[in-house]
Amino acid sequence: MTRQVFFPDPDRKPSGFSPATRIKNAVFISGQVPVDSSGNLVGEGDCRIQAEQCFVNIESALRSAGASMDDVTKITAFIVRSDDYPDYAKVRLSKFPENGPASSSVFISGLVDPKFLIEIEAIAIVEG
């Protein structure tokens, strides 16, 4: 089985991991954090804005692997502050208003940057 790797921005390849990998029709999106395409933090202190940016990054990673949000079958959110869950849930609902994917939310003590309030990963299944 051949694993393909994808980078939304070939000029900004992270070291040691791939934003998206694909094996056959399964696409795995690494945890996406709230940074823009230049690597700048988006929404400092605001989990809703950070969640929106995470989903923007997920969509970009999916596109690079030939998938879309319609193909997402599972998401997992890692949330630092439990009080932020309702804001995240609203953003998730806006991205998946009907028949959303399987979803897990995990409260954690911190992420790789203390300014990150959320990180979201996804799995998608594409046809063909």
- Rounded CA-CA distance 115/70 in Å is 30
CA–CA distance, 34 with 84 (Å, rounded to integer):
14
Q: What local confidence, expressed as pLDDT, does residue 126 receive?
A: 96
Amino acid 100 reads: G
DSSP state of 41: B
pTM of this prediction?
A: 0.94
* pLDDT exceeds 90 at position 54: yes
The Cα–Cα gap between 67 and 79 comes to: 25
Q: Are 77 and 92 in contact (CB under 8 A)?
A: yes
Structural domains of the chain, ranges and CATH numbers in brackets: 3-125 (3.30.1330.40)
pLDDT of residue 8: 80
Yes or no: say if 20 and 27 are a contact pair by the CB < 8 Å rule.
Answer: yes
